[in-house]
Amino acid sequence: MRIAMLAPISWRTPPRHYGPWELVTSLLTEALVARGVDVTLFATLDSETRGALAGVVPAPYSEDPSIDAKVWEMLHVAHVFERASEFDLIHNQADFVPLAFSRLVDTPIVTTIHGFSSERILPAFRRYDDRVAYVAISDSDRHPDLRYAATIHHGIPIEEFPFDPRGGDDLLFFGRIHPDKGAKEAIAAARDAGRRLVMAGIVQDEHYHAREIAPHIDGERVTYIGPVGGALRARTLGAARALLHLINFDEPFGLSVIEAMACGTPVIAISRGSMPELIDHGVTGFLVSDVDEAVEAVGRIGELDRAACRAAVAERFTVERMADRYLELYRSLVA
């Protein structure tokens, strides 16, 4: 089977630190290649893969200001569709723009919907849901107006997230510094629980950061370490007493949640979006409704078995499980 894997071009595939869509695209690509599948990754030219790399975009637009996102995205998407006849299937990980090309080729197309940035993009998905097989990344993120071929949860290479049976004393915020992700709420919960907070992630909303976050960063009670990747990412996740994921939106999935649990770190999350699908309340973390409940949950973290967090990820959220599900879908569409 010959697969064309179309990655986003905001970040390199795999990303150097931040880039969840590119990360999942890379994990799936490499898992398929390891299974002997012939995969061509269409991504930025600085990307890395054990499969074949094809691209026209010199660098990611979020890393290189000389790259015009709109221009290069069009060239990037056109590139894969101009070569569509070479492949048995195209897997689109790059949002709604490729859908507009889908009726111009005969090749089956899978689109993983990594979430909806706005209701305004729905007309594009509605128009092509009879042509493209849509995959939801959680049941909670399925839109009632669309038809789906499957729900396939993300998976991670669990061996890259070593189990830490003890953790530490500090709480952790791990994600974009943005109102959606609940950075301000994490600071409040840690303060009220009498715990230090480590914050990791990119600053996505500068005004929010300056107004709500920066005044609290003192290097003692609240420490900000910026975006982290690789081994440092795993160490940071594993060293926490708990991950605070006090989101203010319906999270489509939440990679940091399962990464933390893989390291043995339980998660305290607002019960929105996919959180009830990822977290077993009272086993791998606590689902709460507000900051006050989060503070109470911090006091109960000692009740949880860190090994149970690891076991849940090993059973449900591995990259192998994700790849198996996608291969099953590919074969049904190609057949």
Question: Structural domain boundaries of the chain?
Answer: 2-155+318-334, 158-316
pTM, whole model, 2 decimals?
A: 0.93
Q: What would the pLDDT profile of 259-274 be if each residue is shown by its tens digit?
A: 999 999 999 999 999 9
Q: At what angle do helices 306-316 and 255-262 cross, to 10 degrees?
A: 120
**pLDDT of 233-291, one tens digit each?**
999 999 999 999 999 999 999 999 999 999 999 999 999 999 999 999 999 999 999 99
- % residues pLDDT > 70 (the chain): 100
Residue range 60-79: mean pLDDT, rounded: 97
- CA 237 – CA 139 distance, rounded (Å): 26
CA distance 36 to 34: 5
Integer angstrom CA distances of residue 330 from 1, 32, 112, 136, 324:
9, 11, 12, 15, 10
The fold adopted by the segment(s) 2-155+318-334 is Rossmann fold (3.40.50)
Q: Hey, do 2-155+318-334 and 158-316 end up sharing a CATH topology, with the first three levels equal? A: yes
- Residue 24 CA to residue 255 CA, distance in Å, equals 9
Structure tokens at 131: 């042509």
For the stretch 303-319, pLDDT in tens is 999 999 999 999 999 99
Q: What residues contact 209, with CB distance under 8 A and at least 6 apart?
A: 177, 183, 203
CATH number of the domain located at residue range(s) 158-316 in this protein: 3.40.50.2000
d(CA 30, CA 52): 11
Model confidence band, residue 161 (pLDDT cutoffs 50, 70, 90): very high
Residue 117: per-residue pLDDT: 84
Confidence check: pLDDT of 95 > 90: yes
Residue 250 pLDDT = 96
